[in-house]
Amino acid sequence: MSIIDEIRSKSSALNKKIVLPEPQDERILKATEELIKSKICRVALIGEESVIRKDAAAAKACIDGAEIISVNDPRYVDSFAKKYYELRKSKGVTEAQAAEAMKNTIFFAAMMVAEGLADGYVAGSIATTGDTLRPAIQIIKTAPGIKTVSSYFLMVVPDKSFGVNGSLIFADCAVVPEPTAEQLAEIAVCSAINCRKLLGVEPRVAMLSFSTKGSATSPSLDKVIEATELVKKNYPDIIIDGEIQFDAAIVPGVGIKKAPGSPLEGKANVLIFPDLNAGNIAYKAVQRLANAEAIGPVVQGTARPINDLSRGCSVSDIVSTVAITALAT
């Protein structure tokens, strides 16, 4: 069974409710049919019922069993606007602006999740990454002890000798452009926790750089070294090493030469990149050159799970991302 089939099957046992706030996209309607048919989770679509049903018929998507909720639903319209106003008034948001924000289906979805009316949301087939994440950052907020929302990719490479039978976690490849040392440490910790959850193994975290254990000196290495120390100090149970080069992190023969005594032993399964340039380039390079499957970006660090789709996503990508979201709850 592939890792993604395993995720789909594990999530179906949980019967979670995931909100999809972009039902105007026919891929979302087709994914809804698949999610309900495969019993991966319950689905709530945000929008006007008559419009959604008409679009579903046109797309030949059977959405029977999906809940449909309007942003004008009298059960929520005033209370959601009031709650959003309370959350954002210190930032200058007025009551009128709060009511307007709640007409946005992604903000509405975020409020549903924050209020416990659903377990998570998935958007981004139409909205940008920023517009998908901002409602979660403002309304759902970060998990206890975490200040930074970030993301990871589950990379599945054909060579099964790497990572966990070919599966590795890459982070952050999509959210935080220039992480500080503290943010880099949080990205490492969240990714380690997700490695346990998703891959079912102990994380071995490599804090990547162009230098291995002092082989080069540059101010740009300082934050990687500092982040590694922060994780070691605050999470002594996590196996971590850095700064370390990519090859020394994942090839035992190179690891023993360049980083003798490293707890990673050239067998890292969680790879943390120093910034978004490095992470984003690396995941795309591995995806294309090694013919790897890239599942993500999976958002991490929020108090409840939410996820961002690529605007080029397929129906199958949406189903997998929703399954990962349901599993993360």
Binding site for ligand ACO (CB under 6 A): 91, 129-130, 133-134, 137, 142, 148-149, 174-176, 280, 297, 310
Q: Which is nearer to ligand ACO, 85 or 255 (CB)?
A: 85
Q: Rounded to the nearest whole angstrom, what is the least distance from the CB of residue 133 to ligand ACO in the complex?
A: 4
Residue with tokens 């990719």: 153
User: Can you name the residues that pair with 205 across neighbouring β-strands?
Assistant: 240, 270
Residues 6+ apart with CB under 8 A from 129: 174, 175, 297, 308
Q: Rounded to the nearest whole angstrom, what is the least distance from the CB of residue 148 to ligand ACO in the complex?
A: 4
Q: Residue 12: left (phi > 0), alpha (psi -120 to 50), or beta?
A: alpha
Q: Rounded to the nearest whole angstrom, what is the least distance from the CB of residue 54 to ligand ACO in the complex?
A: 32
Q: In what order do the strands lie in the sheet with 270-272?
A: 239-244, 204-208, 270-272, 167-171, 150-156, 293-300
Q: Which is nearer to ligand ACO, 11 or 300 (CB)?
A: 300
Q: Which is nearer to ligand ACO, 255 or 297 (CB)?
A: 297
Judging by beta carbons within 10 Å of its beta carbon (0-12, 13-18, 19+), is residue 117 exposed, middle or buried? middle
Alpha helices per DSSP H over 115-264: 129-135, 181-199, 219-234, 246-250, 252-258
Q: Which of 152, 128, 110 is nearest to 305 (CA)?
A: 110
What residue number has its CB nearest to ligand ACO?
Answer: 130
Q: Which is nearer to ligand ACO, 62 or 181 (CB)?
A: 181
CB 46 within 8 A of CB 67: no
Q: Rounded to the nearest whole angstrom, what is the least distance from the CB of residue 132 to ligand ACO in the complex?
A: 8
Q: Rounded to the nearest whole angstrom, what is the least distance from the CB of residue 159 to ligand ACO in the complex?
A: 23
Q: Which is nearer to ligand ACO, 12 or 142 (CB)?
A: 142
Q: Rounded to the nearest whole angstrom, what is the least distance from the CB of residue 298 to ligand ACO in the complex?
A: 11
Q: Which is nearer to ligand ACO, 70 or 302 (CB)?
A: 302
